[in-house]
Amino acid sequence: MKKMYLFAAAVALAASLTACGSKAPVDNAGTQTGEGTTKQEAAGTSSGDKKTVTFWAWDKEFNIAALEMAKEIYETDHPDVEINIVEVGQNDVVQKLNTGLGSGSLKGLPNAVPIEDYRIQSFLKSYPGAFMDLTSEINYDNFAAYKKGPMTLEGKSYGIPWDNGAAVIYYRKDMIEQAGYTEEDMQDLTWSQFIEMGRKIKEATGKKMISLDPSNIELMKLTMQSAGTWFTKEDGTTPNMENNAALKECLQIIKTITDDDLVRTYSGWAGLLEGVNKGEVAFQLKGCWFTPSIMKGEGQDGLWRVAKIPRLDSVPNATNASNLGGGSWYILNGVENSDIALDFLKTTFGENKELYNQLLDEKGIVGTYLPSQESDVYNKEIPFFGNQKIYQEIASITKEIPNVNYGTYTYAFQDIVMAEIQKILQGEDIDAAMKSMQVQAEAQAR
């Protein structure tokens, strides 16, 4: 029972730190949150004879790297434009947008920002008219279908779809083989099969099945969307907790793998990387944005493979495809040179197949622009993954991800769920916990 209480205590500690305003990183698009903010230059101004367009973004290896590549392409064709990229941590982006838009002042705000898919509905509903309507500007049929839902409100779409959060199992081929499994056994799994595999691998190797952060419910988000459901009903506001079959199975999964001592707990990005890069776990379920990070493991060339995630056993129409994290680009209305910001994003991330191919080939960054997935770069054999064509697999998953409405309460309801998970791990009945979640969520949504 000791392991159960240690996990529960970690959940409680994480929740208390969050409540006290902890600066723990917030996950988004699988990218690391920038810790600082560089000196911000004014958005939408002129620099000499050039017109300036300012972007805020975090993560030098992901969002900023992509912007830099797009900037080089755009400025070559538009020498009168300067794309000003300012590194701002994700938490700071959220805070500064709320402060500025809440006060009705655009002073100091950029032309455009990435916003997490889980969070955008809250911005759209809280600040009507703040973001540019792109319904007639972007061909959304060219992007993964699941990306459009979060950025759409009352029939209007406001974002340029960006990074891909297609979820996969990263697994150690050598570890599953020690337990008598093959790569074929990793295909079309259910969660019950996956957990049994974890038990046998632990018995054979002594390694834990998976790493989980007690302060995050990523595993629950991933499994819920694979069944086409969320913490709210389709309207994005009505709580959907008490009678949610997918939620119930998710809670049972967390309890089972914790009770069976299959979980390696970690805190922070470094703790996650340590588990996979040092071979302490056999599996890791993450968005495909995790690929560059897992490839940093020294001496692990050829050991890792990629497979589709397991599907829920008890939920009709559950799938082996889901999303974790991800965001899109949004343009602020009323900031000078917003027309140039639109042209930049539209002609690069909105339709430039070569840009997406270059991002994948040079940076390992996978987008959701479907025409790019027809390119040869997706058929590359990746030596680190035993020459598996992992991007081909990711492209296939991307087209199958269920579209759900994340609504406006994802993070508020996440806190409620984390607190109840603690009680479940201490012995509370799951049905009682779900009823409590529903009551608290309804109070939160009033």
Percent of the chain surpassing pLDDT 90: 83
> Is pLDDT above 90 for 38?
no
pLDDT at 166 over 70: yes
Among 39-43, 213-217, 341-345, 413-417, the range scoring the smallest mean pLDDT is 39-43
Q: What is the mean pLDDT of residues 412-434?
A: 95
What pLDDT is stored for residue 39 in this prediction? Answer: 34
Q: For residue range 355-392, list pLDDT tens digits in order.
A: 999 999 998 899 999 999 999 999 999 999 999 999 99
pTM of this structure = 0.85
Nearest to 37 by CA among 89, 83, 85: 89
- Under DSSP, the state recorded for 84 is E
- Rounded Cα–Cα distance for residues 114 and 411 (Å): 18
How would you classify residue 129: left for phi > 0, otherwise alpha for psi between -120 and 50, otherwise beta?
Answer: left
pLDDT tens per residue, range 52-106: 999 999 988 899 999 999 999 999 999 999 999 999 999 999 999 999 999 999 9
Q: Write the CA distances from 443 to 277, 419, 422, 436, integer angstroms.
A: 42, 16, 20, 11
CB 220 within 8 A of CB 246: no
Tens of pLDDT, residues 108-158: 999 999 999 999 999 999 999 999 999 999 999 999 999 999 999 999 999
Percent pLDDT > 70 in the chain is: 89
CA dihedral of residues 22, 27, 28, 30 (deg, nearest 10):
150
Task: Give 260-281 pLDDT, tens digit per residue.
Answer: 999 999 998 899 999 999 999 9
Average pLDDT, the chain: 89
Cα separation, 191 vs 310, in Å, equals: 5
Model confidence over 254-264: pLDDT tens digits?
A: 999 999 999 99
> What is the per-residue pLDDT across 194-206, written as a single tens digit (0 to 9) for each?
999 999 999 999 9
Q: Is the predicted pLDDT of residue 33 greater than 60, yes or no?
A: no
* Predicted local distance difference test score (pLDDT) of residue 10: 44
Chain position carrying tokens 């009323």: 334
Domains within the chain, CATH numbers bracketed: 51-165+326-372 (3.40.190.10), 167-231+239-323 (3.40.190.10)
Residues 380 and 241: their CA atoms lie apart, in Å, by 42
Q: Give the E-state strand segments of 189-289 in sequence order.
A: 210-212, 263-265, 283-287
Distance from the Cα of residue 43 to its chain's centroid: 28
DSSP characters over 372-410: GGGSGGGG--BGGGTTB-HHHHHHHHHTTPPP----S-H
How high is the pLDDT of residue 43?
63
Higher local confidence (pLDDT), 298 or 111: 111
For residue 288, give the DSSP letter: G
pLDDT at site 14: 40
Q: Going along 241-381, which residue ranges are E strands? A: 263-265, 283-287, 304-308, 327-331
| pLDDT per position as a tens digit, 321-353 | 999 999 999 999 999 999 999 999 999 999 999
Comparing CA positions, the residue from 343, 341, 315 lying closest to residue 402 is 315
Residues 6+ positions from 237 with CB-CB distance below 8 Å = 407, 408, 409, 445
pLDDT of 20 > 80? The answer is no
DSSP for 134-185 reads: -TTTS-GGGB-HHHHGGGEETTEE-EEE-B--BEEEEEEHHHHHHTT--GGG
